[in-house]
Amino acid sequence: MIISKQKDKAELLRALEGQHKLFLVGCAACATACKAGGEEEVFQLQEWLVAEGREVTGSVVIEEACHIMRAARDLRQHQAAVSDADALLVMTCGAGIQSISANSEKRVVGALNSLFLGNVRRLGQYEEKCSLCGDCILNETAGICPVTTCAKGLLNGPCGGMEDGRCEADRDIDCAWMLIYERLTRQGRKGVFARVVPSKDWGHRSRPGRHRVR
């Protein structure tokens, strides 16, 4: 899921300068799981805004704010409160914020910073394991991504800084390449070590990304 966290309040106040009446938008998917933009956080932000002298015209927590059509539908259901607001304050990832701005001519203010695509270890503890490179080599690396979990994103084995299996960038974490080597060895195969991997062609990750399944 997309890991996000709330911007600090001083930054938010700067972004909201001149905007007195606000309509709040949260997301019931990733932003709720991160405790950054679900029902509870929307309510808490509303309380804070009122204490700061702002008026909140209404709020909605959209099922999946990144779903452009659902965002449109949910905003329509709150049309009067949206129209009454000077700006929409959106507590979702960047994709969600853009769903909202695609569906409203109102000024849109993002309340969260989107951090990364994350795996959940437990509630509140997230780990980045994939950078969405568009050319996955996990089949050759025993299911461990060097692009993301090696601090240098190396593609052909460890750097010279690895020490006792620990990463030179952070001695508290295992070297990704040591983990890849050990797991491939346990599986009795060479995997990625059977070839020289060319530099990653980031062209596979065209921007802006578009994908149709049908």
By CB under 6 A, tell whether 197 contacts ligand SF4.
no
Q: Which stretch binds ligand SF4 (CB under 6 A): 79-87, 91-99, 162-170, 190-198?
A: 162-170
Q: Which of 128, 135, 183, 176 is nearest to 156 (CA)?
A: 176
Give strand pairing partners of 59. Answer: 24
Residues between 93 and 132 that touch ligand SF4 (CB under 6 A): 130-132
Give strand pairing partners of 118. Answer: 128
Count the site residues for ligand SF4 by CB under 6 A.
24
By CB under 6 A, tell whether 183 contacts ligand SF4.
no
Selected from 23, 177, 180, 192, the binder of ligand SF4 by CB under 6 A is 177
Nearer to ligand SF4, 56 or 147 (CB): 147
Selected from 72, 154, 155, 197, the binder of ligand SF4 by CB under 6 A is 154
Selected from 169, 190, 201, 206, the binder of ligand SF4 by CB under 6 A is 169
CA–CA dist 77, 23 (Å, integer): 13
What SS3 class is residue 21? strand
| Interior/surface letters 26-51, b for 16+ CB within 10 angstroms, e for the rest | bbbbbbbbbebbbeebbeebbeebee
Nearer to ligand SF4, 8 or 164 (CB): 164
By CB under 6 A, tell whether 152 contacts ligand SF4.
yes
Is 85:109 a contact under the CB 8 Å cutoff? no
Burial class (CB in 10 A: 0-12, 13-18, 19+), 172: exposed
Would you tell me which residues interact with ligand SF4 (CB under 6 A)?
130-133, 136-138, 145, 147-148, 150-152, 154, 158-159, 161-162, 167-169, 175-177
